[in-house]
Every structure is written in structure tokens, then in C-alpha cells.
Amino acid sequence: MPDSESNLVSSHVDVINRTSVLSEMKISNGKRSVERRAVTQIGKNGYPDSIYINAAKIFQGIRTERSSGRVLVRYGDTSEPPVVAFKDEHSRRESYELAFRALKYQDLLEEMLLDSKVYPCYSIPDELTSLLVVMLCDLQDRKFEKRKVFAEEEPVAEVQEIGHYLYRYKTKLAAALARCRIKYDALSIEYFVPETISKQEQRTSAVPVCFWINTFKISLEDVVRDLEMKGFTKVESVSDFDHYTYAVDQHCHDVLVFPSSLREELLNLDLFADCKLLLQDKSRSLAVHSAHALLSEGGDIIMAHIGSHLTTAHMSVLTNDSSSRIFVCGVKSSAKEEELRNNFSHMGCENIWLLHEDFIELQPTDPRLEKAKVILLLPQCSELGAGNPMELILSEHSDAGLLRDLFQGFVSEDKLRILTERQLNELIHALKFNKVQAIVYCTCSVYPEENELVVKKALESGVEGDKRPYRLIPSIFSTCSNSESSTEMFFKIEPSEISSGCFLAVLEREKKVSAKDILASAAAKALLGDIVEEKPKEEVKKPKVKQRRRKAAASDSKPKAAKDLHHHTGANVKAEVPVSKAASKIQEKQVCPTKAGSNTPQKTAQGKKAASDTPQKTVQGKKAASDTPQKTAQGKKGASDTPQKTVQGKKAASNTSQKTVQGKKAASDTPQKNVRRTKAASNLSVPKAASTTQQKKVPRTDSCVELKKSVNPD
């Protein structure tokens, strides 16, 4: 009977062969294909001893703990976190995936051990119970077949002992599995997967996969041509997917989106093997594109976390056409540094600088970061909004404890508090960098505590590098799904079966903008509506002034000599003629711009001081300064080498200068010269008495009629 039960169980047990994605390893085409085949063989024949040991250590830290009244399987002391050493990236991934599978089926595996009487075993101490559960999980995956011996690695005594023990009782274990399935009427062992994990895996299997194009190695046009040759068809959006189809992402122009069913096929393409197409969660592409859009020419960028080297490489590709440098924080070991340099070199990235310090340890005044203008902050978060949280946790070397959160479908309050405190401290530290002009904060969390609340708390902290505070600005992407308001500054994508989740906040230092510029910008955008800027009073009176000017032009048959108002800008000598307020306004309206002549250029100055460096200037009832330059004023001022003054409309004449009224050219017997302001101050002196007489001869009046008479005495 046990043998028949074993055969029955073997025929119904689903084999879970999970091939690892080796997207983050520098491997040649031949080596990559060999290693991919090796991974497939490992799924059928077991794992090397070191992977079992590491998976057991990980499982010990993330397993579900029972209440004291329900403890039937004891796992030993878990007070200290286990120290895990991986041979390479491949073994690390295999260890984590095996540990997570054991976590998924923990209830079933424990029940199998207890029902078969395989546990407890007095020869196996409690400290090795985790190894027992992990190896039982793999034995069930292999349909209780014998494990292959890997000769290339030295065997581990504990692994060999437990492996032989489980295989000796494989029939009892298979029968226990069959009884569990009958008891719960389970068609497959997937029935024992918690509902939260089941829903997450269903969403993961449906979410389209995203690949960004490494333009260091290939152009978008060449990728499209290559895909078309392989039978792929380009469509407009993910809603149009039909197996061998793809679309360009709506937010990132260098990201291609494929149906999730093509994942394994795409990973076998030469485009992927040659690092021309890189598989990565879309949230990371959104983050690097946001940071790149804020980067000024020649400015550097600080990446606060090493995370996945693919994120850094993507930023390097986007900044290829500029002189920007990318500083990556937190590269602690020389082995990690060498690994990253090899990866970046293989992908064609050159403008990347690796820093050993964590971001929080960097000084804002660090001379290496003097040209840094943007900080990209991708803090460790709960990752529950990612399309494939497991893949993201593995690729970014996140905390193994997040696997427990993923299993539960939520993050405990203590864990969430630790994450948010760390995120807030990092964001506040980013605000202290004086030269930085913008910060991009991005997570894959679904919790407001890790998203909006962290950003708002940081902005309210008042900790900023200089007097100009930061403000939230919209990202370069349009407001996307499930956004509460179009005016919301945060960019959010809720996790769904067609997209992974993402939260993005862009902080920028406030710029000093004058009120005039603000009004001009608002007017250009048609935001002022019916609000019309109030016109100055002189513009309202303008038609009357034109009418008076026409009358004056009709009545005058001879040019009027203007009264010369000397204003010397020298150190000790000044002569000013006060003009009434009303008369000054009328004078400003009567001055007409004059064209520059060949020898005596003239300039129009509207109510301002005329400079002595330019030979001739038109003065509108204000002060003029010059030694010999001639000036044109509309019927007001006359000048000569020896100052001659007339009162209210009399002509001023001399041998050296004559002036015309209303834009006519001035004639002179002697050549006109440009005299600098300093010479005017030193060579020309006006007696105080003359200045006083000059002031007395100009009548003060607020009446426009009296002013008209003074201009046209005839």
C-alpha cells in the first residue's frame, strides 16, 4: 500500500522548476547558455550543498513563528541573524528562491514531517530543523527522486546526513503528502500556498515585462528590425498584446514592453545575452528618466544607493551625450567594486564613479560632489507594489526579511517604522547639499507612510542647504492611473495586472523670480483671464499730446531754439534746472526718436540722464551733460561752447553749435567731438550765479496752458 501511495503521489505532484534570471552577470554567449542549461539541470537534480546551507540560514530568519501553544516543530535559537556567504550571484539567487519556496509551503512541509513520523529525530538537533525543511521542499519538487552528486564542490557533512535520512523515508513522506491532499481535497500543492502569495504570483505572471535598450550597444531602430526578423509585431499599447507582440512604453521612450508569457523566450535571445536589452522593473526606468530630465549640462548626479547595477547603467546610458558624472554610494568591499566595474565595462558604461561611503555618511561639502546638481534617492522599501517583488528584492540585494513581508502580504508596524525612519533621514540629508538643485525620491511601496508622508515630513523639517527652500514640482510624466487629482504633485501608479506600482516625487529648489516675470509668464499662459494691467496716466493723455504736437507743427514755420539744461556729472560741479511735475510729463510725451546721422549720432533718452560718452542725445525735460556735444530737444534746449540761455522760446545761437526742434539735424561750423564724462567735469565749469539765474528764468507752473505758451511764445 505505501508503494502504491507513493506512485499516486508522484503522478500528481507538480514539479516547480524555477530558472534563475542571470540578467545581472557578465557572461559571454557560450558561457551564458551553458550556465542556463546547468540551472535547468539543478532544478531537476537538486543543488550543491552550499546552496542548501545558505537557504536554510535564510529560511531560519524569515520562517513563520507559531504561538507557544502550537509549537510542534522546533527550529532552535533565532536570536542572532545568520551569516550567509554566497559563492556568486547565481548561488545567491538559488539560495533565496529555495528558502522562499520553503516558506510558501511551510505548513504543508511541517505536517508531512509530523504525519510521517520522520520528525522528531533525535539524531538531528533543533538547529538543523531549517535544513531539514528546506531539503524536504526540494525533495518534493524532484518527485522524491535521488539527488545528483555535484563533484565540483566539497560536500558538507550535515547536508549529506539529512539528505540520506530523507531519501530513506521517501515513501512515508510521499504517503503523508497524499493524505494531506486528500484531507484538504487539494488538486495540487498550490492549494497550500497562502492566498496573499497566490494573488501576488498571479499578478506577477500577468504583468508585462519591461526591457530597456542599451544604446551603447544598439539603437532602437536596430532592435525593432531584429525583433521583426524574429516574428515580433509592434503594437500601440499593452491592451493590444497578442503573444508575439511588443510596444514602446508610454512614459520611457527607450523601454520596450512584452507579454509576460514571452519572458523565458526573451531571456534566450542574443539581444539579452549581449546586454543590448536589459530586464528591469519599470519603476527604476521612471526614476532615472525623471532624474535625467532635471540634470543641467555639465552637472553631476548622486545615486544614493547602489541597488541594482542596471539602474546605474541606465543612468549612464541616458547621460552619454553630456559631461555628467554619476556618483554611486555604498560600494563597501573591493570585491563588489571589481564586480561592478566589470559589469559596467561589459555594458559600455564609463562615466560612473564608485564611492565607499554610504550616502548618509557623505558630507554636503565634499569637494568630489561640487558639481552635483541632482540626487536620485531609491531607498529600501517594502517593495509590495513591484511587478515582481521577489525579483526586485534579489536584484537590489534588499533585506531578506522583506520575503516574510511578501509572504504575509503586509509589513508589520515595527518594520514599517524602521523603514520610514531610514527613508526620512536619507531624504533630509539630501536636502543639506547646497549645490544640488533637485531631488528625485522613488519607491515601489503601497504605503503612504513610505511615500507622501516621508516627503511632506522632510519638507516641513526646515533642514535645507541654503536659504532657498525646496518645493514639489510635477514629474515629466503625465498623471497616471488612480491618481486622486490632476493637480497632485506626486506621480503614482497603482499595482495592477498590467503594470507594476510606483511612487515618484520630484523636489526642486525655488528659483528667485520677480513679480514682473511672474505676471509675464502668467499672461503668456493666458492665466490672467479678464485681468488687465492698469495703464499709466501718460498713456491716457497721449491722444491730446499728439493733437497739441500737430498744432505746434502747423503754427511754426521756423525752428525753435531749445533751452540748454546743463547737467554735469563731474565730481564737484553740478547745474540743475528744476521743472514742474506737470510740465515734465508733457515734455516726455513730446519727444520724438531721432535717427542717427553719419557724423553726429543722436539717441533718444526718455526722461533719463544723458551720458556724455555718446555725442548727441535727445533729452526729454530731464538733465543733460556734455562739454561740446550738441543735443536735440523738442523746442526746449539750446547749447553752445559758451553757455547761452534764452527764456521761454527765444533762440540760442553760437558759432559752434545749433540745434533743431523735433528731430531736425543740427549744423555746426566746427566738428563735433565726443568728450568723456570725466573731461566734461574737469574742463567745463558753470558759475553758481549762472546756475541760479538759469533756475530763476524757468517759471514753475502746473498748468498745461502756461507751458504751451512758454513753448510757443508767438
Contact 407, 197 (CB under 8 A): yes
Please state, in angstroms and rounded to a whole number, the distance separating the CA atoms of residues 546 and 541: 9
Give me the residues paired with residue 473 across strands: 506
Contact 597, 626 (CB under 8 A): no
Please say if 444 is a catalytic residue.
yes
Please state, in angstroms and rounded to a whole number, the distance separating the CA atoms of residues 21 and 54: 19
CA atoms lying within 13 Å on the CB side of residue 63? 30
Please state, in angstroms and rounded to a whole number, the distance separating the CA atoms of residues 112 and 110: 5
Please state, in angstroms and rounded to a whole number, the distance separating the CA atoms of residues 451 and 454: 6
First-last CA distance in the chain = 137
Strand runs (DSSP E) across 251-410, as ranges?
255-258, 277-279, 300-303, 326-328, 352-354, 372-377
Please state, in angstroms and rounded to a whole number, the distance separating the CA atoms of residues 575 and 566: 6
Residue type, 560: K
Residue with cell 535520512: 165
Contact 652, 624 (CB under 8 A): no
Q: Give the active site residue among 252, 275, 329, 444.
A: 444
Give me the residues paired with residue 610 across strands: 624
Give, for 507, the enclosing helix (H) or strand (E).
strand 502-509
Please state, in angstroms and rounded to a whole number, the distance separating the CA atoms of residues 299 and 57: 44
Please state, in angstroms and rounded to a whole number, the distance separating the CA atoms of residues 300 and 369: 8
Residue with cell 526579511: 401
Q: Pick left, alpha or beta for residue 456 (phi over 0 → left; psi -120 to 50 → alpha; otherwise beta).
A: alpha
Contact 160, 49 (CB under 8 A): yes
SS3 of 703, please? coil
CA-to-CA separations, 703 to 544, 697, 699, in angstroms, rounded: 15, 17, 11
Cell of 260: 509576460
How far, rounded to the nearest angstrom, does the alpha carbon of residue 263 sit from its chain's CA centroid?
29
For residue 303, which phi and psi values (nearest 5 degrees)? -100, 110
Task: State the catalytic residues.
Answer: 444
